[in-house]
Amino acid sequence: MFVSDFRREFYEVVQSQRVLLLVASDVDALCACKILQALFQCDHVQYTLVPVSGWQELETAFLEHKEQIKLLIKQDDDLEVPAYEDIFRDEEDSGSDSDGSEPSEKRTRLEEEIVERTMRRRQRREWEARRRDILFDYEQYEYHGTSSAMVMFELAWMLSKDLNDMLWWAIVGLTDQWVQDKITQMKYVTDVGVLQRHVSRHNHRNEDEENTLSVDCTRISFEYDLRLALYQHWSLHDSLCNTSYTAARFKLWSVHGQKRLQEFLADMGLPLKQVKQKFQAMDISLKENLREMIEESANKFGMKDMRMQTFSIHFGFKHKFLASDVVFATMSLMESPEKDGSGTDHFIQALDSLSRSNLDKLYYGLELAKKQLRATQQTIASCLCTNLVISQGPFLYCSLMEGTPDVMLFSRPVSLSLLSKHLLKSFVCSTKNRRCKLLPLVMAAPLSMEHGTVTVVGIPPETDSSDRKNFFGRAFEKAAESTSSRMLHNHFDLSVIELKAEDRSKFLDALVSLLS
């Protein structure tokens, strides 16, 4: 369904109804959900929230609530072709008194109608052919548009009900797209510009006493900050070692890469004792110009994009988070490997962590995120040092084996996708083969020992001009169909599938043949 007027065609339609809110296991979706919840609370709209991690859960939720669901369906114009007998009816059947020696006026009208309907049928066939071509081009690639949270915030703004909390959730939703490499750098910068205007509007205060902010209020500010994961809640050394961008550029899986990191720190003039302790405990004199120092040294080491446009939020004086910090924390809570809770429990915990009243959950998410980032870089180092990334011709392939440390962390779709993207970046930095630098990556990780299944994800090539379009969804379908491989396309991201481990070999052979 295409909605041109989001306020009139969506919100005003559901405002008077009880709403079934189906939310995907995705940080952007969670942020959009939080904004909608706030709007529903303002307008006293009743709703039921159901988390869905894939198509199966979506179908189950629909079947459970289908008796209460109202579907508004707009049908196309009726272009049904009349029956043969209705068109070619004899004079006798039509009750005409004509002797048939020449066409009657009625027959003339009927012939004109036949010609008109034939033309309409021909136009319909041409339209359907064009539609098939357009849909094939549209469905051939998978790509992401504007953040759902941003769309919901725009709705709140149109309704004049936008709050600072809603704005922050929109920022986190956009940052999630950037962290997961779902959108281009140009798209990210454009959307940051849009949100920056709202940040100025919501967080601008004059110096006079009437407009001053209270100490414990929420403040959002635009930042041109370091591209280092969780560095304000970690040590600078740990952040440099476990951020995909710096780990790949330094090639930290090698002895030479570790030496380059030491040279980088020496170039900045930062003592190791300071670098390896928590960022908050570093000397204030060092922290004052730290961003400029790191950027200057990074340029010498070929890292031109060490700083990025982002936003931060302050809760009083004590608590400060970058948008990327919240994304990593929420993502880790949602994909937590802990078995003491269900997927729904993890979903609710992640949703709660986005509220400023649950900072303890957010800090817990940050600790989980550190473990996840460490495990990611250790796994990348293991894959590269043992040459697990191999060329299959039209794509690169890597498979994590049972028994690999932390392998269960990467059985979940988002975690495996993030690992795959970071692995591909690191491989491109490490290989000297020019052709391999332009290849996409297919990665597999064990999912269930009991059912003998693996999670398989496809990642598009890592190039500067990449438009982030992923063609693996259709390719996986074709390969599984041609080999009768037992595959489940349950995840909303079409480039992620579940596959029977014993069918993997023939599936990959078909994929190689298809993409060659």
The residue ranges of every structural domain in the chain are 168-373, 387-515
Structure tokens at 109: 């009208």
Give per-10-residue mean pLDDT for the chain (516 aa): 76 83 91 94 89 89 79 39 43 46 67 84 88 77 87 92 92 94 90 92 62 65 90 91 92 92 89 88 85 89 89 85 94 81 84 90 93 92 90 89 82 90 91 86 88 89 73 85 85 88 88 86
Q: Which residues, at least 6 apart from 34, have a Cβ–Cβ distance to it below 8 Å? A: 149, 165, 166, 169, 351, 354, 355
Give the chain's count of helices (H) and strands (E). Answer: 23, 11
**Any bridge partners for residue 370, and if so which?**
none
Predicted pLDDT at 205 = 59
Predicted pLDDT at 321 = 92
Looking at the domain covering 387-515, what would its CATH class be?
A: alpha beta
Please tell me whether residue 218 adopts helix, strand or coil conformation.
strand
First to last CA, the chain: 36
Please tell me whether residue 343 adopts helix, strand or coil conformation.
helix
pTM: 0.84
**DSSP line for 305-369:** T-EEEEEEEEETTTEEEEHHHHHHHHHHHHT---SSS-HHHHHHHHHHHTSGGGHHHHHHHHHHH
Predicted pLDDT at 393 = 87
Give the angle subtended at the CA of 353 by the CAs of 172 and 342, to the nearest 5°. Answer: 115
Fill in the amino acid letter for 72: L
**Can you give the length of the chain in residues?**
516
CA dihedral 313, 315, 317, 319 (to 10 degrees): -80
In order of 105, 254, 285, 383, the CA distances from 405 in angstroms are: 86, 19, 40, 12
Predicted pLDDT at 90 = 45
